Amino acid sequence: MKTSAILSPLIAQNWLEEFSKIVISLEDHLNELDAAVGDGEHGSNLSNGAKALLQGFPNFKSRTLGEFFEDAGMTIINSVGGASGALYGTLFLRLSDVTSNYQEADLTLISQAFDSSLSGIMELGRVKPGDKTLVDALEPAVTSMRASVKNSENLLTAMIKAHYAAELGCSSTANMEARKGRGSYQGDRSIGHIDPGATSMAALFGALSNTISNYFPH
């Protein structure tokens, strides 16, 4: 009998393991994207966090999803420099808050958790969709998840759609003028470049979609 797809601490760890490996492999590419609109360190900063996560997983004492995401968030905050550490740290700490005391999460809970993450990042960074930031990949993914919950879709279908939405959102940043961070100093010269934060955020959802697919294939 096929088990309904859920997110557990083990599956969440496999998700972040895959994301960490992707980030490390994309380090130079993310730095190149960031050099066009920022300080050129987004890839290096995130790669530091990815390596810290991979080294830290064996020491996580996570019994619940909330504990796992709290450990992940604090690891990111303590190892990633620049705005990326605060923003990604907030993402995982908000996931932790919503999944606190839960052993596993279904699509509805996961959607609520990412909704909280989006709100937290927008508040912390004082950003909104269209500012050419990682929010431009995160917000479409969250909107897609909300629709999947409303349509009673399964977790795998929802994550595939969320990843697709994040990738489209990421691509759309090429046509945007940066309004936040160092990129805002570039003015209209920032147009024509894909945002590095949106690129890494889309990769986060790609890793999540792949991990859920591996555990709960069609």
Domains of the chain: 9-215 (1.25.40.340)
**pLDDT, tens digit, for every residue of 54-76?**
999 999 987 899 999 999 999 99
Residues 6+ apart with CB under 8 A from 62: 9, 13, 68, 71
175: pLDDT strictly greater than 90: no
Q: Which residue has the higher pLDDT, 40 or 198?
A: 198
Question: How much is the average pLDDT of 134-154?
Answer: 97
pTM (global) more than 0.85: yes
Question: How much is the average pLDDT of 94-104?
Answer: 95
**Distance (Å, whole) CA 214 – CA 207:** 11
pLDDT at 137: 98
pLDDT at 29: 96
pLDDT band at 217, cuts 50/70/90? confident
Of the listed ranges 34-43, 67-76, 99-108, 184-193, the one predicted with least confidence: 184-193
pLDDT at 62: 79
Q: What residues are paired with 7 via a beta bridge?
A: 105
pLDDT at 189: 55
Q: Which residue has the higher pLDDT, 76 or 186?
A: 76
**Average model confidence (pLDDT) for the chain?**
91
pLDDT band at 82, cuts 50/70/90? confident
